[in-house]
Chains A and B, each alone.
Chain A
């Protein structure tokens, strides 16, 4: 009988680069920047790392295939290194691989590192793949973009809950405004500027009804973690360390896009994945027990419907919670404490680890101006793909008891 991951893995070090349009550096420099901070934080040597997991997504630009970009860049001493790719859950996947490796007892200390260098495409947004995204798929799927896919949540949500377009537009503007307000407090964020709801609502449309400020930035960045078991962490003299409480993943079966039940207004995967995660972490009332979250806010509407899929807002009630400020920094469950994808941008391979980095800082009381009072559990959530076919990953971490 499976017993889950709870308290089997300790995070002993983390690192994260400044995110942004890093015209001056490539993926290799970004990896090293995150790695050096992480190594120092863990207080170990490179040779202590026994195996590594490397997350990076976009083949169209970036560092190339296989795990070699990591092993070569860091000159890792011929150890096992595995590359993982699972769209926007890629960073969390790398973390999951490293966690399972130490939890199984196969290794003592493992590294997880995610990186993405996006700003080498010559245009805004994520790279478009054309016929290289699959020889069959591209012959019949719409020529869709990420904002266009996620924007459709809004049309379906309004239709389902009979919400007026203007009311939803205002609520998702608040979602972005809240993240921008948090991002101002974060020196590592790409965008560190306060933006008002009115500005957000007046911004040019990218994919109806999402405007420019409903979309997260596109940036370069890297983040990483070093993990071991709580026993080894204690032997290393670590106190008050952070342990993993849940690691869950849920992938679409294609039901959303080809069967008839889904209304297009939410994420079927997240809905299930969050229940699994709470179960694994022993959380019975997430609205009360989760202290803070970093959810996948690639677009304001994604974050908005995710509140409901995480079962923190009731179905159809996210609008009320948002407008009540429930997810603001001083609200019931502060969300996007570090500014979120909204302010960090979304270098795919790095995002999941970047979210964990903020939760880790908060749990250690090292989040400076953003510090939340005595947080217990932090939740991170990634959503890769499209509302109609996707990958959801959820992690919960907290202080080791």
Chain B
């Protein structure tokens, strides 16, 4: 059996929204809107027919032993070299065996099917057993042209062989005509095309049916025997009509990909065929035809072997890996259709030494490095002396292919100084799994997508176009693995060690599980006693949670100490350090309840609750804090309660302990601030062992700890910037509670202390919560208290006036008097002021012929426009805000002639 043994597809990640072409240049070519549906694929600046062919071939070879390939045929009409075999570059890039026959197939859109036919003939003839056939095209058109809309870039590849056939070759039929729908003269950059209506009616709709019907007749079958029909035709309507003409039901026809990709030239029948193979079932008969100076039609029958490709969806994968852009200018720049200034730096010589390229072809084109036989270190490049400093063996390295090994970013930058087609130029150190690294260019990504640790894969891309010498350099670059960034941006606790007290059940258990699930090593502390803290305690609850964590593949140890004693706290922290070497997170969650009305609140019940909640938090946090300070990192959670924050009948012991924890946090946040130790408090509302039998079951169900834990996890993360805050959390609802202080009132003076009567009179004012403030510490609060309210209001209100009473309007009123005619000689400028804020507005200052005129409102053509807030403006004019600082800090923005704006200081002397 002979046929297709594997397939691969590649569509560039970038897609250009066709409407963006129309929006940019539709004024010039309004008719192109007719085909401006969807998006077309577009090469990144460093992609061409060769790099896409390599990408499609790599995708195809994932499932084939490339060492067995005996031929490589490359089909394209847009190959970068007219005389240097392009297939040879692809073969070297794929690191195929040296004993291989390679050939380019070109100069017609049916070059791909010609190559396929030749491969089939060769295998049939028995000369070769396995041949790779790749088709790839990046067709150029002038801007603002129908064909720019119709075309897309892409590639596809098949291997043809006689074993493990997934689509058996059943027969072919070809017709050849010198039908010149378009042509491109030798040395010309663009195609010359004839009228579309003629191409449609006399070309596609006659030539394709002739070949297809010829094949059906030859094989003695009818269209009813065909399950899927593949043929190109970028006229959407005509594509459908041809099927009708052939008597094929519409659902058999594979879409021409106009809206999602565009016509990919020579590669298009192959690419559509890969779409058909994605969904093929054993027994399916697929008819594929090409178009270009005639047509070749093939019939394939899908075999059982297709099952090994089930679910791989190679075509769909590459189609779905996309980034859509509206930036038509980028498209033009990437294709060299516009030539922005690149600067003198871009003039650096780019001559390739062929001798070096030949000697190091495996390294440069194939990304082949070395692996040391002595120490096993993979390294790039392969050298004579091993790079491992404790090995340094000589002549010890065997070839080692890096291209398909996963890598991660180790360091990176986005460089705006380096010459780049898509600034900033992005590059950095990449580290391969299993060893090996080098400084690599990044491709097909934005700076925002790059992170240390991001998984990348290697792509064969262009490095430079040596336009003067007509040469193209290729090498390998790193591109982010699709979806990897999303995965990375998840909050994780890798390398972090957490202590969760009272983690045997309820909230604590969920905190522990969720932290462990995201990478933390956890000390699961639980005394295992009854809700009121009584009883012997039991190791069971903590052990169960540890087992649960371990079942998830996480790391955890159990601890059964009592938080209520200093020794217990020490031991808990010690078990973290003993097991995992550090402590990053402490969640003070352990608690007991002994509710009694105050009348019945005896000392024992009072003290027991204080001991677990307040002393417990101290006992665990204190030894942990010392370690956190050393580490320069810590996240501490206190657990308060609505009962503490707002009060609850029968819980005087509990509510006082809970509120005490807020006080503990308030000071601890200050002491920890310098060391990146954040302390926050949560008031959870959740059902747990403490509350299970007090709550109605239906509410208890909604109050799962999972609706609280996300906030706690965030507060424990590196990403958390909060410290000293109190949050309510429950049932998926989150808010912040805070201690706020109002403006108050100043009564009496040094000689006359205020009287109770005055207080009584002023109670409304003292109680008035308008304009409340939050203070970060005692000093801030005291300072505020000692600044009399009268002064405070004078300092700054929101009317845009400052202490001196200068308003924005005043300034412009005073401007004519401040004008310096001497400084205005030869100045002809109009300054537009847009002052935002309550007292803002628009003013125009016109300086001409040694005079000035101030008007309100806007002018049409200002020399420059100054945008600034009202209070900043007043500060700037009154000398409190340096204009340069205002400008560099962004408070002042200037549009238009920035240099002219610097005259303003000389033209007007307000002070």
Contact = CB atoms under 8 A, between A and B. Distances in A.
Contacts of A253: 387, 389
B632 A316 contact: yes
A389 to B, nearest CB: 9
Contact of A147 (B344, B415, B441): B415
Interface in A141-162: 141-145, 147-149, 151-153, 155-156, 158-159, 161-162
A142 B364 CA distance: 13
Interface stretch (B96-104, B164-172, B249-257, B431-439): B431-439
A254 interface: yes
A105 interface: no
Contacts, number: 162
Given A205-B416, A255-B389, A128 B885 contact: no
Contact of A254 (B356, B387, B885): B387
Interface in B345-398: 345, 348-353, 355-357, 360, 363-364, 377, 379-381, 387-389
Contacts of A254: 387
Interface in B388-435: 388-389, 410-420, 424-425, 427-429, 431, 435
Interface in B425-484: 425, 427-429, 431, 435-441, 447, 452-453, 463-464, 473, 475
A202 B889 contact: yes
A269 to B, nearest CB: 13
A267 to B, nearest CB: 13
B344 A152 contact: no
Contacts of B416: 204-208
B534 interface: no
Interface string A334-369: 000000000000000000000000000000000000
Residue of B360, B415, B418, B437 most packed against chain A (CB within 10 A): B415
A285 interface: no
A259 B356 CA distance: 24
Interface in A298-321: 316
Nearest to B441: A142
A259 B890 contact: no
Interface string A159-196: 10110000000000000000000000000000000001
A155 B411 contact: yes
Nearest to A195: B888
Interface residues of A, number: 52
A388 B475 contact: no
B417 A125 contact: yes
B447 A208 contact: yes
A263 B428 CA distance: 12
A199 interface: yes
Contacts of A158: 452
Contact of B885 (A136, A156, A199): A199
A64 B437 CA distance: 36
Interface residues of B, number: 60
B343 interface: yes
A128 B439 contact: no
A161 to B, nearest CB: 8
Contacts of A208: 413-416, 424, 447
Interface in B684-722: 718
A258 interface: yes
A121 interface: yes
A162 B633 contact: yes
Contact of A155 (B428, B435, B463): B428
Contacts of B413: 147-149, 151-152, 155, 207-208
Contact of B438 (A132, A258, A263): A258
Contacts of A264: 410-411, 429
Contacts of A255: 387-389
A336 B357 CA distance: 45
B344 A121 contact: yes
Interface in A121-149: 121-125, 128-132, 135-136, 139-145, 147-149
B411 A153 contact: yes
A260 interface: yes
B417 A258 contact: no
Contact of B417 (A122, A162, A206, A388): A206
Contacts of A155: 411-413, 428, 452
Contacts of B357: 139
B419 A143 contact: yes
A212 to B, nearest CB: 10
A41 interface: no
A198 B885 contact: yes
A144 B889 contact: no
Contact of B429 (A130, A151, A152, A205): A152
A144 B418 contact: yes
B349 to A, nearest CB: 4
B475 A140 contact: yes
A144 B415 contact: yes
A255 B412 CA distance: 18
Interface string A13-35: 00000000000000000000000
Given A136-B360, A202-B888, A207 B417 contact: yes
B421 to A, nearest CB: 11
Given A199-B885, A207-B415, A258 B428 contact: no
B461 to A, nearest CB: 12
B232 to A, nearest CB: 37
26 contacts: A131-B351, A131-B353, A136-B356, A140-B381, A140-B438, A143-B419, A143-B425, A144-B415, A151-B415, A155-B412, A155-B452, A156-B411, A156-B452, A198-B885, A202-B889, A203-B888, A206-B416, A206-B417, A207-B414, A207-B416, A207-B417, A208-B416, A258-B380, A258-B381, A260-B435, A260-B436
Given A143-B419, A151-B415, 9 more contacts: A124-B417, A129-B348, A136-B353, A139-B360, A144-B418, A144-B425, A147-B413, A162-B633, A205-B414
Of all A-B residue pairs in the complex, the 4 with the closest CB atoms, nearest first, are A130-B348, A148-B415, A152-B411, A159-B452
